[in-house]
């Protein structure tokens, strides 16, 4: 997908989202609850991705940006008899 197609698709999704938000005060309670559940799911996925990325970066790098070599895993080799 080209960048222009992607931007057009994102604009279409944004317009649908705004239209849904405008119709939300007039909607029935089931639709409001389902919309909130979808928003909660999206927010949860985003928060979990941020946490995963921050944990990955923290384990690879120390606070000053240099890699922490002390955390490197070592291989255990069998003892030769």
pLDDT tens readout for residues 12-28: 998 998 898 888 888 89
Per-residue pLDDT at 42: 92
The overall pTM is greater than 0.75:
no
Please give the structure tokens belonging to residue 30. 């089931």
pLDDT at residue 71 above 70? no
Q: Which helix (H) or strand (E) holds 8?
A: helix 3-23
Give the model's pLDDT for residue 37: 94
Element (H, E) at 44: helix 29-60
Tokens for 10, please give them. 């994102």
- For the chain, what are the domain ranges? 27-59
CA separation for the pair 51, 67 (Å, rounded): 19
Q: What's the rounded Cα separation, in Å, for the pair 41 and 19? A: 20
Q: How many CA atoms lie within 13 A of 27 on its CB side?
A: 15
Asked whether 60 and 67 are in contact (CB, 8 A), the reply is: yes
């Amino acid at each position: 997908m080209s960048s222009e197609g992607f931007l057009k698709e994102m604009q279409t999704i944004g317009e649908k989202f705004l239209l849904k938000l405008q119709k939300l005060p007039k909607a029935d309670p089931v639709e409001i609850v389902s919309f909130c559940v979808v928003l909660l799911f999206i927010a949860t996925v985003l928060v979990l991705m941020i946490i995963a990325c921050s944990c990955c970066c923290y384990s690879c790098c120390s606070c000053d940006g240099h890699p922490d070599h002390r955390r490197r895993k070592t291989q255990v080799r069998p003892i030769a008899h």
